[in-house]
Amino acid sequence: MTFDVIIQGGRWFDGTGAASAVRDLGIRDGVVVEISATPLDTTGCPDVVDARGQWVLPGMVDIHTHYDVEVLRDPHLPESLRHGVTTILLGSCSLSTIHVGGVDAGDLFGRVEAIPRQHVISAVDEAKTWSSASEYVDALESLPLGPNLAAFIGHSDMRTATMGLDQATRKGVKPSRREQQRMEDMLTEALDAGFVGMSAQQLLFDKLDGEVCRSRTLPSTYAKWREMRGLRRILRERERALQAGPDASHPHTIVTQAFGSIGVGSAKPLKTSLLSAADIKAIPGIIHLMRLLAAVSNRLGGDFRWQHLPVPFEVYADGIDLVIFEEFGSGAAALHLSEKIARDDLLRDPAYRAAFRKDYESKYGPRVWHRDFFDAEIMECPDASVIGKSFGQVGVERGGLHPVDAFLDLVLEHGTSIRWRTTISGHRPHILKKMAASPGIQMGFSDAGAHLRNMSFYNFGLRLLKHVHDADRAGKPFITVEHAVHRLTGELAEWYGIDAGHLRVGDRADLFVLDPAHLDDTLTDYAEAPVAQYDGLSRMVNRNDATVPLVMVSGRVVWRDGEGTDVLTQERTGQFLRAGEAGPAVIPPVTTGPARPETSAVPVAATAP
């Protein structure tokens, strides 16, 4: 047998958690057709990859992104692909672009996900040829996709398109029976089109952009139990997933979501993936209650998971532009003002400063930010004397200023030119280890494609593998490398019901080669890169390219030695993965000779491991 690609002598992981082994992989027509303990014959093979000393893994699955806008203009999505992520889920947090137009999409995505509103509007309006979920899938597959995609349909998207954004974000306004039926029909049509489920949101510090409904919370937050009951019933019956964010200011909503997953009587469990299991600095004990809640819910017959970012949640900010300030009144008041002059006037107001200090000093109750400006390091500033210091330290040096006044003074003086960082969760390595081993946890909360100036977790999977590999080499393992790979690949694909995350004979050849010698500190290096489609806006990225020397999708090399290949820019390798269906390899069209079949070759038996 001849092969299109042979990967020689790498440590092969199949994505099931089974023991890894040194093997040769033979790939033909986009599919793994042979896995051999002895060297494969390279005769006639145009691409032989020497993977000796390296790992060969199934492509990772990123279950939480906001690429819904970016994919329309840059369907290659290289910032995820370069780190071995070959399958990406769209439509998180109740947000999608299935039914809304550009302006409504701009209001929904702009402030919540910190994507420039004007670019959301133009991208959606220019690309939108669809009016249904099935047409949306067709539109995506007409693009030269790099990775594979799967999707949730967003509840805020459906509610806005059905009720209008103004009515959908008014307290006390409920959908009529006709509107309720329309949303249920939208959800059913999306599930028929292969969507993995629906996303919803109860989190109250996600605020709308624009002018008409500015600073109202997302439409999904206004839904009452009766409205959600009909949508949840459809998901439960179809065995699809609900991805949701609870209202952290009302902890009972978390318990309601978890126990709502339980199947009662003849009812099936409702697959529920909740945001998010995090070791929050501000509430150090909450993480243990989260793990307990998942365990109890699942023991009682639920199918409940927490989404989890398995690395420290470090955020950056330009001035006061950071979503965590939305969680308290004075912070939200500043972010409500889009004009710099009006915002600066507010920040100077003594009454406003007093309110900010009061919010800052309130250390009790549910919250995300630890509210400690001594734990906030200044990274960039026109005034070089403050770089490397905290706002609290600057206040001390300026005659004992309150940390809030030191912060506001510097923001007034330098605006968005002052850049600072802090870590709000995931700061204790031993807790991260416990989370990595917890069965009620899903690995994935990258927020890729959103918060462009605030965070960069595109390579979170590699960072988890580094954590596991370091512990293994130190003789203190907490999970095996095979288990970690399974958590990032096959486990996620199986739960969401998509054809991804495995690397066995007969599987589509979505894979990456990893050099374990470069599971090192470069994975946490800070970097920025311009985004052409957002007028060159500089966003935080990860660029540790030595760690992943090669990435393949549908058996074709899309990334090699730190660069995208011609295949990535000229051909479609990815596809929309429909829940519950096989996704045969994407075969490139031929320009001469007989047409090649669109389905993959019949696999041959693997050599026994």
Q: What is the mean pLDDT of each run of 10 residues along the chain (609 residues)?
A: 95 98 98 98 96 98 98 96 98 98 98 95 97 98 97 98 98 96 98 98 92 95 95 97 88 88 89 94 91 95 96 96 92 94 96 97 85 97 98 97 98 97 96 95 94 96 98 96 98 98 98 98 94 93 95 98 94 97 90 39 34
Alpha helices in 368-514 (DSSP H): 391-397, 403-414, 429-436, 460-473, 481-488, 490-496
Distance between CA atoms of residues 492 and 239, nearest Å: 15
Alpha helices in 222-275 (DSSP H): 225-238, 252-259
Give exposure, 75-90, as e/b (b: 16+ Cβ within 10 Å).
Answer: bbbbbbbbbbbbbbbb
Q: Which of 93, 94, 82, 71 is nearest to 149 (CA)?
A: 71
Element (H, E) at 110: none
Question: In this structure, how many other beta carbons lie within 10 angstroms of the beta carbon of residue 516?
Answer: 16
Using an 8 Å Cβ cutoff, are 134 and 192 in contact? yes
CA distance 107 to 219: 11
Question: Dihedrals φ, ψ of 312, to 5°?
Answer: -55, 135
pLDDT computed for residue 569 by the predictor: 86
Burial of 352 (0-12, 13-18, 19+ CB in 10 A): middle
Q: How many CB atoms lie within 10 A of CB 182?
A: 17
Identify whether the C-beta of residue 297 lies closer than 8 Å to the C-beta of residue 262.
yes
Which 8-state DSSP code applies to residue 55?
E
Q: Which helix (H) or strand (E) holds 32?
A: strand 31-36
For residue 498, give Cα distances in angstroms to 133, 489, 566: 17, 11, 27
Q: What is the pLDDT of residue 251?
A: 79
Could you give the CA distance from residue 483 to residue 17 in angstroms, rounded to a whole number? 5
Q: Token pair of 228, please?
A: 């959600």
What pLDDT does 604 receive? 32
pLDDT of residue 599: 34
**pLDDT of amino acid 605:** 34
What are residue 560's phi and psi, to 5 degrees? -145, 125
Q: How far apart are CA 123 and CA 286, in angstroms?
A: 40
Report the alpha-carbon distance of residue 539 to residue 79 in Å, rounded. Answer: 11
Q: Residue 454 and residue 415: Cα distance in Å, rounded?
A: 16
